[in-house]
Amino acid sequence: MTAGVREEPREAVRPRTPRRLPLPTVLALLVGFAAVGYRLALLFADVPPTNSDEATMGLAALHIARGDGFPVWFYGQAYMGTLEAYLAAPLVALAGPSVLVLRLPTLALYALFLLLSWRLTRRLGGDRWYALLVVAVLALGADRVVKNQLIAGGGYPELNPAGAALALLTVGLCVAGPGARLPRWAAWGLIAGVLLWVDPLILPYVLTLGALLVAWRWRELAGRAGVVLAGALLLGAAPMIVDSIRHGRNPVAAVLAAGGTGAPADWADRLHGGLVLGPPLAMGFCSPGRCATWQLWWAVAFPVLLTLAALTAWHTLRRASGGPRSAERVSAGVRLALLGGAAGVLAAYAVSNAAGRTPIESSRYLSCLAVAVPALLWPLWQAARPLAARRLTWRRQFAEVAASDRPAERQLAEVAASEGGGYRYLPEVESIKAIGERVAGARARVAGVGALAVLAGVLGTGAAATVEVIRAAPAVHAEADRHRSLVDTLGALGVRHVRGGYWTCNRLAYATGENVLCAVVEDDLRPGFDRLPAYRREVAADPDAAWVAPAGSPLAARLDARLGPEAGALDVVAVAGWRIYLPRR
């Protein structure tokens, strides 16, 4: 009989202790949230300022949302895909056209870039503290940086997260053994294909990472993996390929033609714009619209660091133990590929006309240098980390000796501590001898101090440039308010068709949801470049079409000469910062 017998549980149930996130991970999350929150606050303050190019992408999103068209290319050209318009179209359909709605997808892309950069840094062998450093550097938001990340002007916000994703997939494909590898090959090909459609600026990274895969995984690529990769690549680039076949367009020729437009720039101007101004602007070290002399130090540090990081990766690649799939070799190989891609991006920009003619604005072509930050800062971290680790070790062991029950050792430890590291002169104490044996030579200490100084310079200069953006925000917000007043005044006047400058027209059309259509004119009133030719036809058919010009602009001065009481003259309505010219009836 078993009545009255209580069966004891076989194993006591122990409450599970909740797993705590490591401190650097928590700090990285806080920094990431702060970075995204900072950019969201900028968006509500109308920063960075919008322009007609961004409005052109907004018009594409508006047309997609309405079902009026599904453009493949940025209106008016045969290159730069409209991925941003397709991402924003659902939001435009729900909330209507606005700059904020257009930029919410780009903000999400930036948050994804931070997450992928953290993961990439960890996969490349960096510890959590180094990953925190990378996130902190990428969290800084100077003028050129936030423009590249947030303005939906075509081909910039999506490059960095896509490049980081390609690098992560490359690590996984090089390290992982047999298993579900075909989905990774498909993802790599799909992302690469989409990037080729969206913007060729990322091509150097695609080539270097692709070359690494071919060199290490050529046997696998000769089989099903190669077929899957090629199929996914064609699928990602399908919009570009189909459009080229249907309309006979050549995107490569279009890109080369666009890069060669205008008078050729002098080589000295190209190199100055590409190698002196370019890296500091791309890194986010410069104030809005200019680069002070003290902010150009990165122009010297960048090529030195790029070379040092490449040599370090190459040395690790040659000396690392294990086969080609060892984590150390893969990490070094991917770092080298990222650095090669960054060098290719910089070289292509430095030889372009844009670097010499418009270096401040054209530095956006270097936005994808940020993809290589985990590889670029690696030598600095490797040099600085032992220095900090040794200081922590000294303090810990001094505390252990001081807490000992042996009075002699306690006394020696106190003397050593009072001498500021005088343990080198106290060989009697075994623990202090052990500390001395772990201390690197003078060269390592100097390198560590120098690395810490450079890292402090990166964070300090970037933070100063970020503060400048915040200080300039009220002026940008005031300009956006003036443009909203212009839109309201045109609506009150019942104006549906206007003529204006290039940087006025599409911005006005998008802000009004195409209730106002605008034809572009030059300062001498001749027809300008219309990205949507249908607008010009609509405006030409309206005898009451108005003119719009910023106050104080050359176009406004030309139109002021046509004011007067005579027939055919213009009347003017002044709005804050703008002038509306109406035909006299």
Summarize the confidence of residues 212-222 as an average pLDDT.
Answer: 91
Res 18: pLDDT = 61
The rounded distance, in Å, linking the Cα atoms of 273 and 363 is 8
* Torsion angle of the four alpha carbons 190, 194, 200, 206, in this order, in degrees rounded to the nearest 10: -20
Res 78: pLDDT = 84
Higher per-residue confidence, 492 vs 21:
492
The rounded distance, in Å, linking the Cα atoms of 245 and 281 is 38
pTM of this structure: 0.87
The sign of the torsion formed by the CA atoms of 568, 574, 580, 582 equals negative
- Whether the pLDDT of residue 49 is over 60: the answer is yes
Q: Which of 143-147, 424-428, 437-441 has the lowest mean pLDDT?
A: 424-428
Res 2: pLDDT = 46
Alpha-carbon distance values, 385 to 178, 489, 546 (Å): 35, 60, 65
Q: Over the stretch 22-35, which tens digit does the pLDDT of each residue have?
A: 899 999 999 999 99
Q: Over the stretch 505-552, which tens digit does the pLDDT of each residue have?
A: 999 999 999 999 999 999 999 999 999 999 999 999 999 999 999 999
Res 319: pLDDT = 83
Summarize the confidence of residues 47-70 as an average pLDDT.
Answer: 95
Backbone conformation region of residue 358, classed left if phi is above 0, alpha if psi is from -120 to 50, else beta: beta
Strands 578-583 and 570-575, bridge-based pairing = antiparallel
Q: Which of 1-15, 147-161, 217-231, 555-569 has the lowest mean pLDDT?
A: 1-15
Question: Cis ω on the peptide bond leading into residue 48 (within 30° of 0)?
Answer: yes
Closest listed residue to residue 284, CA positions, set 347, 354, 370, 357: 370
Q: Over the stretch 79-113, which tens digit does the pLDDT of each residue have?
A: 889 999 999 999 999 999 999 999 999 999 999 99
- Whether the pLDDT of residue 296 is over 60: the answer is yes
The rounded distance, in Å, linking the Cα atoms of 173 and 184 is 7
Please provide the average confidence, as pLDDT, over all residues in the chain: 86
Q: Say what percent of the chain tops pLDDT 90.
A: 63
Amino acid at 88: A
Express the helix, strand and coil content of the chain in percent, nearest 5 each: 70, 5, 25
Res 261: pLDDT = 54
Res 234: pLDDT = 95
Res 484: pLDDT = 96
Res 491: pLDDT = 94
- Whether the pLDDT of residue 332 is over 90: the answer is yes
Res 263: pLDDT = 64
Summarize the confidence of residues 189-207 as an average pLDDT.
Answer: 93
The rounded distance, in Å, linking the Cα atoms of 189 and 231 is 8
